[in-house]
Structure 1
């Protein structure tokens, strides 16, 4: 069933029932257009409660005839499916990792390269710079989808049942990485032995021992209960996680100027609050782990060793052409 933008006057009864299953506001019945906004995160994840839900509220409050139905928990498909649906127009908006978008336009995946950015400020500075405009335009031309903004996903760290302080500590461990070229390159760059497991199956893989560890931001580790099946979290900060907010080009073109402005403004306005929410959640979760002993927090990681090894590998062994130029451009933006 098509779940993309739905014009109320033409909506069949079955589609109305589907729209009602979303998490959007109660104003959708009065709106001219209802946009579907997909994500793979739980309802209490910061990207949902301090991101997507706030975008939905702000767009509806703008009074431009748009309602937003939100679909957390991979209701509209997993991460390998939803962006394809955005490109086809079957889903209007999505929150998607850069590496996943790289399957459709390879250069954008470099945002997820190990130690591409020093921190979130560095990432935002590049994204907001003139240097990034060509990348975003090329992405839209190639995929038919528009990047509205980038949100901070949190620093990615390793979890395992042993501490990981240096690249050598990864030796012999089967670490779960997403099945994408840039993540598998990160694994090689960091010295890990990667195993690819769908995100929705990570908990079971850790529980059954088919994976020895994984890497994700702290709120994701907590929200998906990986702390129940892992004893250590090692603060490697090997990736400044980025999530792109994308909208179908077909959907965007159907919106008038005021509606486009309202959607763009909402996504961009929420960026700072979303980041604060992520960082507050990180601090609270780490404090809870430390106080309860639910996980041992390993904070004496040799970041310099990881960074130098990863950057050398990516520059000399993996990245080339436009991807290498982009990786270098990140470093040149202050």
Structure 2
């Protein structure tokens, strides 16, 4: 038997093996949350829906709990190909895109209706396109996340009570500048380190949505829950634009559709329905609720855009103008 006939026989035999003709694309998705968190569950739904829409041609493997790295490492990994999707607080993209700083401007979004108006409408589309142009990252969907609350180990009723307090914030320039304006000592830190840092007194507090405060069991290590509701930051589902463009058109469509269907609806429903329940659970676990002077907080951070991020003023104005439209 010649070498050519041997190779032909081997190929023919392989073709008969179950699944041999099925070329599957495997994509890794990374996030930092515990599996009980709302958006961790939404990520699993997203993976299921991509597989279903592509008849198994695309498999999304979900790696949660920072197993593939911190938010910043995951976002950088999109460029290097160590991960294909990152799901997380959209403000993390500000390290690569000036426009992405808009996601975490404090006291910019008024409520959930205003949030939906922005991120499901033309302003959101403009933000997405600008991020792609500036960074090469493609946001394929925005999911609702509850507003961020402050949790501390001592009572905070106004900005004066934050003087010198070490507050863990995401690794984002907007968060750092905003909490400096409030008089605190903002301390960027990998989310996976926050519980231990609170427990050991390395930091005096942190800020996050109620769902994450609850599922991260922060009630075990911090006492006060302060209703600042200072940021409505979307959860972004992100790929490298180049990686997405390499996929066949039908697979690209399946990914975008899945990011904006069942998983998105689940996150929105759970956040909207759950806020009051999350608060009750945290109070039942021993946390003390504080209703602070929000106007005093807002006044302290109001100059931040003009002073520190003037390039954001045009898009910031569009977001604020939409809040007026919602009220009308």
Taking structure 1 as the reference length, the TM-score comes to 0.84
Equivalent residue for 1:35, pick from 24, 27, 48: 27
2:279 to 282, 286, 293: 286
Contact 1:236–1:303 (Cα < 8 Å) also in 2? yes
**1:1-334 → structure 2 map (5 Å cutoff):** 32-49=24-41, 51-64=42-55, 65-269=57-261, 270-290=263-283, 292-298=284-290, 300-311=291-302, 313-321=303-311, 323-333=312-322, 334=325
C-alpha distance 30-155 of structure 1, shift in aligned 2 (>3 A): farther
Q: 1:31 Cα shift?
A: 6.2
Change (3 A) 1:196 1:67: closer
CA RMSD of aligned residues (A): 2.1
Unaligned 5+ segments in structure 2 are 1-18
Q: Is the 8 A contact 2:86 2:237 kept in 1?
A: yes
User: In terms of Rg, which structure is larger?
Assistant: 2
Rounded Cα–Cα distance in structure 1 between residues aligned with 2:74 and 2:213: 22
Unaligned runs of 5+ in 1: 1-26
Of the structure 1 ranges 82-91 and 300-309, higher mean CA displacement relative to structure 2 is found in 300-309
What is the deviation of 1:170?
Answer: 1.4
State how far apart, in whole Å, the 2-side matches of 1:67 and 1:275 are. 24
Q: Distance in 2 between matches of 1:211 and 1:80?
A: 20
Task: State the alpha-carbon separation in 2 of the partners of residues 61 and 38 from structure 1.
Answer: 20
In the TM superposition, residue 274 of structure 1 has moved relative to its aligned partner by: 0.6
Deviations 1:24-66 (A, max 9, x none): xxx9x966212211111111110111x1011111111214421
Name the stretch that deviates more: 75-84 or 87-96: 87-96
Aligned residues: 302
**Residues 92 and 172 in structure 2, CA contact (< 8 A), matched pair in contact too:** yes
